Amino acid sequence: MDFSDWNVKIHWELHLLPPKMKKVEYKTPDELKLLTERKRRETQQLIKKLKKMKSKKLDEMVHSLHDEAFSTFDCLDCANCCKTIGPRLIEKDIDRLAKHFKMKPSAFILQYVKTDEDGDFVFNTEPCPFLLPDNYCMVYESRPKACRDYPHTDRNRFHQILKLSHKNCETCPVVYEIFEELKTK
């Protein structure tokens, strides 16, 4: 095989690679709210289409976009979720966080927790009381499960949370870009 054959081969193989996702750029929650509103109708149409897909196939697509997006986007350059949406706290979260601060769970609740309009436990300030000025989490190893799971784009059965994820486009630049990318598929 001479070099021209190699050129053809490489060109052909590159052609077969899936197109790269657009690099995620940071956006403020205000910008994301505006963009999500502007694209509401087309995103709703996309959701209708995604609901008809095989669940496993959709998970594969979303997980791969999740990996690609977070390979270049650093949550430390964002922290929108920690600043604007409090995680729902379960008993285990409160016990773990209280232990982290060597406090009794009841004392931890008094100092850091309130109940929201749905009766769920949430932190009593926004931004989160444990968010540091450089966007690091003061309790990272002990953070609530909801913080570990957010933005849910690497979970299975993504079809179950399409509506919630559409809402998350208003907060998370990665989720917003994943939906935009799915529109091109």
Residues forming the site for ligand SF4 (CB under 6 A): 75, 78-82, 87, 128, 130-131, 137, 139, 143-144, 147, 150-151, 171-174
> Is the CB of 10 or the CB of 110 nearer to ligand SF4?
110
Q: How far is the CB of 59 from ligand SF4 (least distance, A)?
A: 18
Whichever of 12 and 63 has its CB closer to ligand SF4, that residue is 63
Tell me how far, at minimum, the Cβ of 8 lies from ligand SF4, in Å.
Answer: 40
Complete DSSP assignment for 68-103: HHHHH--GGGT-HHHHH-PPPBPHHHHHHHHHHTT-
Query: How far apart are the C-alpha atoms of 156 and 57, rounded to whole Å?
Result: 10
Q: Which residue's CB is nearer to ligand SF4, number 144 or number 166?
A: 144
- Both tokens assigned to 93: 């979260």
Minimum Å distance from CB 160 to ligand SF4?
19
Nearer residue to ligand SF4 within complex by CB, 94 or 151? 151
Alpha carbon distance 161, 155 (integer Å): 10
Rg (CA), the chain: 20
Sign of the alpha-carbon dihedral angle for 160, 115, 172, 72: negative
Nearer to ligand SF4, 49 or 114 (CB): 114
Closest CB 168 distance from ligand SF4, rounded Å: 8
Running DSSP on this structure, what letter comes out for residue 157? Answer: -
User: Whole-number minimum distance, CB 49 to ligand SF4, in Å?
Assistant: 24
- At 35, the amino acid letter reads L
Q: Measured between alpha carbons, how far is 16 from 12 in angstroms, rounded to an integer?
A: 7
- The position carrying tokens 């209708």 is 48
